Amino acid sequence: MTNILEMVDEIDAQLSADVVEAQHHEGKEGYFIDFDIASPDTQETARTVFVRLVKNGSGGTLLPGVCLKATTTSAKLHRTSVAGAAGATDKPVGFVNRHISSSGVANGKYFWMVVEGPTEVIDSGSGVTVGDTLATAASGEVATASSPPTEFDFGTALETAVADATFLAAVNCRGNA
């Protein structure tokens, strides 16, 4: 586990591969209490967020709120690299954390992926209601889950959102990550 004081400085950063890999920090995990990154004394949801340091192996830029799928070529890469945005038939392993700048995470950079806890996600165009169970949709977006539940369900909407909006959700991808 990582120290919360280290994470406060790192949570919104993209970390270079040579530094992370030289120090063998890939796959490092940690917890922090959800707070406003711009004003760390202000708690937002006061819930615990579980994160893992992973590499963007998608070949492109990953934006905040995008639902992610794992790299499946080896057990090590499954825990230390993401292959890109999850589709409707991909098990989600986490989300690009909402504290990453709006320009996103460049290919080959490491970042703190949210595996469990509150984070912002992106609606796929159907809108959601607070309390809805959520599942993966196309292009790293999310939608209200179908019934009965499937292995693509990952969390609950914490607020109501209109179509294509970014909204706060409680996610849990620990069984897949």
Tell me the mean pLDDT per 10 residues along the chain, length 177. 50 76 84 73 78 94 96 76 93 92 92 94 96 95 91 94 96 86
Please choose, from the candidates 103, 170, 112, 100, the residue with its C-alpha nearest in 3D space to the C-alpha of residue 142.
170
Q: What is the structure's pLDDT at 64?
A: 95
From residue 67, give the alpha-carbon distance in Å to each of 88, 102, 109, 112: 10, 15, 17, 13
Q: What is the structure's pLDDT at 37?
A: 63
Q: What is the structure's pLDDT at 1?
A: 45
Cβ atoms of residues 51 and 114 within 8 Å: yes
Quote the pTM value.
0.87
- Residue range 4-172, CATH number: 2.40.300.10
Please choose, from the candidates 158, 139, 165, the residue with its C-alpha nearest in 3D space to the C-alpha of residue 69.
139
H helices within 42-144, ranges in order?
Answer: 75-80
Q: What is the structure's pLDDT at 95?
A: 97
Q: What is the structure's pLDDT at 88?
A: 92
Q: Is the peptide bond before 92 cis (omega within 30 degrees of 0)?
A: no
Cβ atoms of residues 177 and 27 within 8 Å: no
CA gap 29, 131 in Å, rounded? 28
Q: What is the structure's pLDDT at 5?
A: 42
Q: What is the structure's pLDDT at 26?
A: 87
Q: What is the structure's pLDDT at 2?
A: 47
Q: What is the structure's pLDDT at 126?
A: 92
